[in-house]
Chain A
């Protein structure tokens, strides 16, 4: 809309006509206080804090509902306005318990800030305050009624933002109260968004309440470890007996692709870090066949010796399994270690989407992959398969927001009903995903019997630009067919959904038996091939075949990092005894229980590096928690290589030719032998040594150099922004696509399920059981 000029406090401001005054002022650096106003949600004008004086208007106006127009004159700060706001605060404080010293929100409470600013410390009200006991609405949501200022933010967030509508407001006037849908409990997605938007401490979190104060925590911005959406999460960490413990998770500065959004897993799913089942000491199987705790030195020496002996007997003797949960640098290093040190192509990971086909199809095509931000702003989106609300909560949030604020046109085609249908312009219930692609391509007979198919196709073909989001249902030939259809049309972009925090990264980093980083074939003339000179060039075994070969003894050793193939493939107990099995994991998984050596690994919340979301958004992961005894997978691989007598410099390009100039821990001093808080301090102060062999960022250099789709703006990346991969860039051979087995097994995580991590997270288990309680009751009716 056309720009208009208006005056605020004597300053000429310009903004598009129709902009809300409060937004226009905030952009110009004029702060107007508000409780009920929340960007992106509907307007409420309930709190009366944002009142301003508008020229020629008899009464004070609410800035949150006043659209600016040409020539208007406003005053936002005067004794009259200060008095009005102070009076509003007095009313809000009328029933407020003023228990700030014990309130979770104390220190980051908007009511507290306003009271300090406008000085409503004394009140003319002599009436007794109405006290109500605190209520627990779910394992994670608690409601303290007297603290509530009835701003309706939670009600609107739950309804408009989440489309759950689990909160309402009941009664009126002084007895008005926020009410949950279950009468005295909440039956909802347990996302905790209501807690996040609460400007005071009326809604508090089951994981954080009464545990800490905001200023007692260190706030570390990192990426959520659960699904493939890649939400930024700020972990509040505090010193604990055995390192640094996580006490809270939110997205404190509302930055990144998720803005203010986090789901239940991101917000409440972190207690696995300090779980009682967490491995903190290496385990080695003793003569009696029992796993026995040992030291890191002994364990590393044993593994290095066994691996060394095995490598000595020839190429391809060891199988390596990477993980969709560990960082890009770790996966890259692991495959490099496998290919150049262990001399094997038997390397794979748990695949949850067919990224090789995705990338190959995009080869040479410019700007055809959709980042998350592009999906969130696209005018038209086609979601094929998948179940975003359950498995990709951020995607569902962004689609809902895009629909609500930008009237995005959402098209769904699925074999089953999904929640997003309420926002969809058209929904097609189909039985065959391949037939849909053929039908879109013009084969009318493919969907002759499906009601509404003709209108669906007509509407899609009329879209000038379209983002196609494909679920894991599309893989191999069907994914190729879908993308071929889209690539023939202008303005079509693609995204492919996968299940874990770094499923895309593990694929991009070449954790495949037949593909190198960047999906390069094993043989070729690229820089990568000369760097890896002399590696075996025959395709290796995939995950299933490797485990099979390990059970027969055809593979002499199996190195499993952050993965649990025994559970995934249903391997019988004791079947892996013919092979030397090393497992690196946070927990004693079924695979670890079968292993000869178990190395306790750091989780994603205890390490630094980068991860890539399923939309190709690369983000920085920062060490937040610290658990004594565990090591990041990166460090373990480097130590293993070192113990095998390999020149570590060839594996990790750290340091400079003149030597190493950095704090390598010498300044640790009095903290030696304690948990490594020093590293946390260095990270917190941005003084992380960048030149050690254990520094994953050194490997990031190599990734950038050798993987064409990872061209990164480092300053932006380190500042906490996401960088988007460019899958179309660089050399790609289409030959190796033909007849390739995709090996995808979608795991379908739920709102509270997240594989082994979810099972080890007490709060998610609790939420799962809590919500299942409602659904089994409903099913019994």
Chain B
């Protein structure tokens, strides 16, 4: 049984991994990018993902966990389709980051690390996302929304909701 036959990953991702492990002097250097790409595709680091990453690098699943658990942006439970990360570090905090975070909590009915019942949104309070100049800022998956007011929160959520509906009807 070859690793390819058993893979959880798409052909593109598998090919990306194969190229990545060869790029470093030691294979395990590819671990963190591999985990991140795997999370992007699968949604979270399931036991099966961890085992496959370990197998592809040639280390134990325990080694992978040792590294993965260190990083807060790697997750072990499924997030929503749109993962809302609200910064409450100093710049954002001073410009109303907590208000933004509260608004998201109210609108979505979930708290920090929560996922909505329909699985569409998840919410996280995060440390600095590097958008201090345009504080307060949130990151939804890889998209930034900055210089926010509480009112804009609703618009953002509506936008993603409609985007999802469009994708669904297509």
Contact = CB atoms under 8 A, between A and B. Distances in A.
B7 interface: no
Contact of A165 (B63, B65, B69, B70): B63
Nearest to B71: A172
Contacts of A166: 62
B26 to A, nearest CB: 16
B61 interface: yes
A168 B66 contact: yes
A173 B70 CA distance: 9
A620 interface: no
A170 interface: yes
A495 to B, nearest CB: 32
B60 A179 contact: no
B70 A172 contact: yes
A180 B60 CA distance: 12
Nearest to B60: A165
A461 B92 CA distance: 70
B63 A171 contact: no
Contacts of B66: 168-170, 179
B70 A168 contact: no
Interface string B14-28: 000000000000000
Contacts of B70: 170-172
Contacts of A172: 69-70
A179 B65 contact: yes
Interface string B48-63: 0000000000001111
A181 B61 CA distance: 8
A26 B43 CA distance: 53
A154 to B, nearest CB: 13
A179 B70 CA distance: 13
Nearest to A170: B69
Contacts of A167: 62
B62 A181 contact: yes
A179 B63 CA distance: 10
Interface residues of B, number: 8
B84 to A, nearest CB: 24
B39 to A, nearest CB: 17
Contacts of A168: 62-63, 65-66
A167 B63 CA distance: 9
Contacts of B60: 165, 181
A157 to B, nearest CB: 15
A168 B66 CA distance: 6
A39 to B, nearest CB: 24
A172 B60 CA distance: 19
Nearest to B69: A170
Nearest to A171: B69
Contacts of B65: 168, 170, 179
Interface string A131-170: 0000000000000000000000000000000000111111
A172 B67 CA distance: 10
Contacts of A180: 62
A166 B66 CA distance: 11
A171 B76 CA distance: 12
B114 to A, nearest CB: 20
A134 to B, nearest CB: 21
Nearest to B63: A168
A165 B28 CA distance: 15
Contacts of B69: 170-172
Contacts of B62: 165-168, 179-181
A168 B62 CA distance: 6
A118 to B, nearest CB: 30
Interface in B60-85: 60-63, 65-66, 69-70
A172 B62 CA distance: 15
Contacts of A171: 69-70
A172 B69 CA distance: 8
A155 B96 CA distance: 44
A167 B65 CA distance: 11
B31 to A, nearest CB: 13
Nearest to B65: A170
Nearest to A182: B62
Nearest to B64: A168
B32 to A, nearest CB: 14
Interface in A166-225: 166-172, 179-181
Q: Among the interface residues B61, B62, B66, which one has the most CB atoms of the partner chain A within 10 A?
A: B62
A166 B63 CA distance: 9
B122 to A, nearest CB: 20
Nearest to B68: A170
A168 B65 CA distance: 8
A180 B66 CA distance: 10
Interface string A104-135: 00000000000000000000000000000000
A180 B61 CA distance: 11
A16 B69 CA distance: 41
Contacts of A165: 60, 62-63
Contacts of A181: 60-62
Contacts of A170: 65-66, 69-70
A171 B71 CA distance: 8
Contacts of B61: 181
B21 to A, nearest CB: 19
A171 B67 CA distance: 8
- Interface-central residue, A166, A167, A168, by most chain B CB under 10 Å: A168
Given A170-B65, A170-B66, A179-B65, 12 more contacts: A166-B62, A168-B62, A168-B63, A168-B65, A168-B66, A169-B66, A170-B69, A170-B70, A171-B69, A172-B69, A179-B62, A180-B62
Interface of A: 165-172, 179-181
5 contacts: A170-B65, A170-B69, A170-B70, A172-B70, A181-B61
The 3 A-B pairs of least Cβ separation, nearest first, read A168-B66, A170-B69, A181-B62
